Structure 1
Amino acid sequence: MGFIEEFKSKNFTIYAQWAGLLSIPFLFIAGGVAFLAFFLFSIIAWILAFILIFVEVPLCMKICPTSPKFDAFIKIFENNYLRTIGYLLFSVVIFIFASKSGIYILPGLSLAITGICYGIAALKHQNHASSTLTGGSGV
């Protein structure tokens, strides 16, 4: 199944995965911009981006050497309900910093959209699917 067919499938886990992937560069950029002015936000944003890389790109878990503890931590996010909670919590953390500067709104918004998409997928009882472009099995 190709990229276009995955988006036409109406599987909200695919939409959420791509929104989550979009969050990663937003977090890296916002963390970089805030590095000198707000160091704590930068560290939190980069840690979240690093975690999201492993959560949203299944290929990374296959090719990168990781510890069993890290693998167990990432496996927590296999369930759509737990991904919803995780992304919404990540979003709240980022929005807490948004009161300091407007640059933090974009990563927080993309994380919230991702959480909402995973929530819709969970409510519709859709199985988690990863895009074939990221090393997943597709829909």
Structure 2
Amino acid sequence: MTIAEEFATRNFSIYGQCASSFLIIFIEIPLLLRICPTSAKFDTFMRRFTTNYMRAGIYLVMGIIQWLSIIKEASSLIAAAVMLTVAAGFYALAGVKGQGFVGSKTLGGQGVAQMII
């Protein structure tokens, strides 16, 4: 099934997956904010997620959306729900332990973003 056919099914779990993956890519790979043409409003929204608590919150919200999508019928979306919930837990744990957020240089953190300027 192509992506166009998936969207044509009007299955909202498909829409949820796409929205989640889009946000995760821009949250976890900040280099994309510099190289992709995005609006100032979108950039401001994405820059909110620079603390462990904010990341825990957004991952928890995305996890809840996935959990809600499998209430009617269990599907492979349970894997996404579990992983998003686990990620939220790790970010929350880092926040509770007082650990500051550290961006991975491999994923476009501080070192890589400055190299391309």
Q: 1:120 aligns with which of 73, 85, 93?
A: 93
Q: 2:12 aligns with which of 40, 44, 61?
A: 40
For the structure 1 residues 38 and 103, does the alpha-carbon distance in structure 2 shift closer, same or farther, using more than 3 Å as the test?
Answer: farther
Partner of 2:55: 83
Flag as ranges the 4+ runs of structure 1 deviating above 3 A: 34-38
Q: 2:74 aligns with which of 96, 101, 111?
A: 101
Amino acid at match of 1:92: I
Deviation at 1:86, TM superposition (A): 1.3
Runs of 5+ in structure 1 lacking a partner?
Answer: 1-30
CA contact (8 A) 1:94 1:104 kept: yes
Deviation at 1:109, TM superposition (A): 0.5
TM-score w.r.t. length of structure 2: 0.81
**Larger Rg over CA atoms:** 2
What do you get for the CA RMSD once the two structures are aligned?
A: 2.1
Runs of 5+ in structure 2 lacking a partner?
Answer: 112-117
CA distance in 2, matches of 1:135, 1:76: 17
Amino acid at match of 1:89: V
